[in-house]
Structure 1
Amino acid sequence: MPPSLPDREAIGAAPNPLGLDGIEFIEFATSKPQAFGQVLEMMGFRPVARHRSREVLLYRQGGMNFIVNAHGSGLPAAAQLPETPVISAIALRVRDAAAAYRRALERGAWGVPPRVEVMELHIPAIHGAGASRLYFVDRYKEFSIYDVDFTPIPGVEQQPPAVAGLHGFGVVQYIGPGRTDDWSEFYAELLGFSALPDEERFGILPTGRVLRSPDASFYLQLIEPQFDALEIDQDETLHRVAFGTPDVLGAVRELRARGIEFIEAGSVHTDARGALTRPYLGGMSFELVQHELPQ
């Protein structure tokens, strides 16, 4: 038996089976990269690097990396460059990317065939919600994936500070009717996520089920269709990113000064718990949640 197998079995039984260590990047696909880039810059992100061979930009603030992909040939057929930016992938930091990928396949995940071009790094991935992908990354400390695939933009600060203490908090996922338990099991079995008690909520949109990553570094909120709406979008998608901030009201003031607009209507309005930006570019919005970044 190969020596890696006993380690994988022991790891699989641990509370954090993959050695999950947060999110390395969130990738967006859009045919309007410049327009979306302007929104990201208003949110405090800065473009810091370009992909060596594709129309892809890396945006960063604080410890968050966003990739904006306008290179259609590198995406699944179902996600070919929509005008409205969509979350096309999440890259998870893990102890061993190859072992994490194998373990996910053993537990029923569907692997994504590699689309690697010459001189590009292969990052293993499985299928997520809709046409999205979940990547496994184990190069994120002294040596990162960006060292291989990206070229820094000259004269640009590579580690721009976060605006108003913004940091990654989680992702909201829209799911099909009656699929909450299915998706909860998917994330628990493959990645080690656990559901929070119903009374433990964050932000101003306390609906659906909230899952916590095994390293407690980020959250997933699963939301089924709301049947009081006239038109129900039952597509399963990674819908929006939530940012944590220790001071929501202060962050809203600072982001408004940068040009970001927030929804202030009915039950959705800014308060100390959270806030929601207006939709940009046909439907992309961001959420703020009161949350202290762990020391």
Structure 2
Amino acid sequence: MVDRLLWKEVVVDDAAQGFEVGHNDFQHVVDIAGQGVCFLDFRHGNHDVPEFPGIFLAVRAERHANIGRHRQTQGFRVECGAVAADHPCFLQFLTAAGNLAGRQADHVAKLRVGQSGIVLQCGEKFHVIAIKRNSHAYIPIFSHGTCKILRAITWIAHTLRVIRGILCGNNRPFEGEPVMGPFPHDAPPAQITAQNPAGTDGFEFVEFAHREPEKLDALFRRMGYQPVARHRTKNITLYRQGDITYVLNAESGSHGMKFVDEHGPCAPAMAWRVVNAKHAFDHAVANGATPYEGNDKTLDVPAIVGIGGSLLYFVDTYGDKGSAYSDEFDWLDATDPKPEGVGFYYLDHLTHNVYRGNMDKWWDFYRDLFNFKQIHFFDIDGRITGLVSRAITSPCGKIRIPLNESKDDTSQIEEYLKKYGGEGIQHIAVGTDNIYDSTDRLAANELKFMPGPPETYYEMSKDRVQGHDEPLERMKEHGILIDGEGVIDGGMTKILLQIFSKTVIGPIFFEFIQRKGDEGFGEGNFRALFESIEEDQIRRGVLNTEAAE
């Protein structure tokens, strides 16, 4: 779909009160999150026939928005009024539609960030139809009657966009270009739609299991997590930091501990938030998923079998609906707390390693069952070994799962598969608003990081990430990596900061990340990370450089 509004879903899904989309007697303007309104031509379904439906609907990216947890909810005083038939109107160029992270918004016509749209503004008096307020955005919806001059300006605006599209055709996306989704994780609640058939809405927890649970307890505390609840009848403990939940399973005979028998210390399951757990389960099974019916689950919710025999749970009680844990767990102190810890507050992505030949199999699994989209593809060669990686994301944009596959018999992916005894989670990435402070606190807690890059990496970072002003000395202190486009489009920041722990749960490690308008996975650092791990393999004698030569 190119340059066309997904017009049947944008307003009705978000508005506190619905109205008829496509009605010719009204013009509607929607302003998301207090940002400026911009115009996108709202053509009828037939792309070739210029229609004049009298409706304009768009949002615009806020280039300097605080996209962390501290964004403030705002509201409006409701005023009613009328617009005269001869009220003056005018056109004004504004920034193209985008989400709060500065990327193209999912639910509007696909323009490149930085490409101008046209806003149709018609005076001072509007009749407010509905206002919805939540922690993510305020959404005022205005309407007023149309008249001949509005239809004329509609035609002018459409013509200007066609001309501009011809002149700036190189800014247009490819047909069907995937959009990664909003950042951070606290985007508007998902709905079950044709685009999101299972109703995915984010990560709920990651489960870990160990024969010596006290070792994971010490690790989690070192990373800032606190025990917040214990199962009433099983040896299972919940750890929490921000909106991140880790489940520590030490229950004999459970699926998690059976997984330990096969893999050693491991991550035997993850859980997703979904609109309706039964619907998500039924939809997945109907499309080929294997249901898990065992009585040894961590949580009494629907589950299917995922990568390497791990479980994928579906949870529909979260947020304003309460807690999925209250029926089976006792809270140790406050109910459903979100302790600050060392500053991490959301699960960013879970990277999986799979056997050669299986990456496409699991890509098909996520695509066919849940309508995931591919957003990145990497083909990396180190000094001796290589890998390919396919990064995919859910329709809601909140679940991101890179899939790694080795290109040879000796790579770090193969080493993981041998040590882990099969496919599974390679690393868990969590997000923060201040990676420097969080990393300092992790280091103070004696968490060990992967070796940092050489001095030249930081010397060249200004050239590679244009316009960034990150403190190089603080980055070098622990080996923080930087990636992204830098500062672009007159001040828009697209920077990613990341650092990795050493392997701490068998071959599993953790990634700590801060996004400043960048939605990627550190593509520019991917090779650096791969080569860093490869050098570690060489030092440990796992790889033989002479044999490779």
Shorter-chain TM-score tier:
0.7 to 0.9
- C-alpha distance 144-126 of structure 1, shift in aligned 2 (>3 A): same
Structure-1 separation of matches of 2:192 and 2:243:
28
Shift of 1:164: 2.8
Shift of 1:124: 0.8
Structure-2 separation of matches of 1:63 and 1:252:
19
Alignment-derived partner of residue 441 in structure 2: 254
Q: Aligned-pair RMSD on alpha carbons?
A: 3.1
Shift of 1:17: 1.3
TM-score, reference length from structure 1: 0.83
- C-alpha distance 16-157 of structure 1, shift in aligned 2 (>3 A): closer
Shift of 1:80: 3.8
Larger Rg computed on CA atoms: 2
Residue 360 of structure 2, aligned match among 181, 184, 200: 181
Alignment of 1:27-176 (within 5 A): 27-75=207-255, 79-80=259-260, 84-115=264-295, 122-141=300-319, 142-154=321-333, 158-176=337-355
Alignment-derived partner of residue 7 in structure 1: none
The residue identity in structure 2 corresponding to 1:187 is Y
Give the number of the structure with larger relative contact order, counting CA–CA contacts within 8 Å between residues 6 or more apart: 1
Structure-2 separation of matches of 1:137 and 1:230:
36
Deviations 1:122-162 (A, max 9, x none): 31100011121001111113332211010011479932114
Shift of 1:84: 4.7
Alignment-derived partner of residue 16 in structure 1: 196
Structure-1 separation of matches of 2:453 and 2:274:
41
Indicate conservation of the 8 Å contact 1:56/1:69, yes or no: yes
SS in 1 for 2:308: coil
Shift of 1:113: 1.1
Q: 1:291 aligned to 2:518?
A: no
Q: 1:224 aligned to 2:411?
A: no
Indicate conservation of the 8 Å contact 2:260/2:266, yes or no: no
- C-alpha distance 226-47 of structure 1, shift in aligned 2 (>3 A): farther
SS in 2 for 1:21: strand
Q: Which runs of 5+ in 2 are unaligned?
A: 1-190, 379-386, 458-478, 483-496, 519-549
Deviations 1:198-257 (A, max 9, x none): 38xxxxxx9611111211113101001252627834421122211123443443222111
SS in 2 for 1:221: strand
Structure-1 separation of matches of 2:296 and 2:512:
35
Alignment-derived partner of residue 270 in structure 1: 480
Structure-2 separation of matches of 1:75 and 1:41:
24
SS in 2 for 1:72: coil
Shift of 1:91: 0.9
Structure-2 separation of matches of 1:39 and 1:209:
29
Shift of 1:275: 1.3
Structure-2 separation of matches of 1:270 and 1:228:
30
SS in 2 for 1:146: coil
- C-alpha distance 157-104 of structure 1, shift in aligned 2 (>3 A): closer
SS in 1 for 2:295: coil
- C-alpha distance 28-293 of structure 1, shift in aligned 2 (>3 A): farther
Indicate conservation of the 8 Å contact 1:31/1:83, yes or no: no
Structure-2 separation of matches of 1:213 and 1:32:
34
Deviations 1:170-202 (A, max 9, x none): 101011102222111111111221100438xxx
Alignment-derived partner of residue 3 in structure 1: none
Instruction: Report the number of matched residues.
Output: 277
Identity of aligned residues (%): 29
Structure-2 separation of matches of 1:156 and 1:255:
26
Q: Which runs of 5+ in 1 are unaligned?
A: 1-10, 200-205
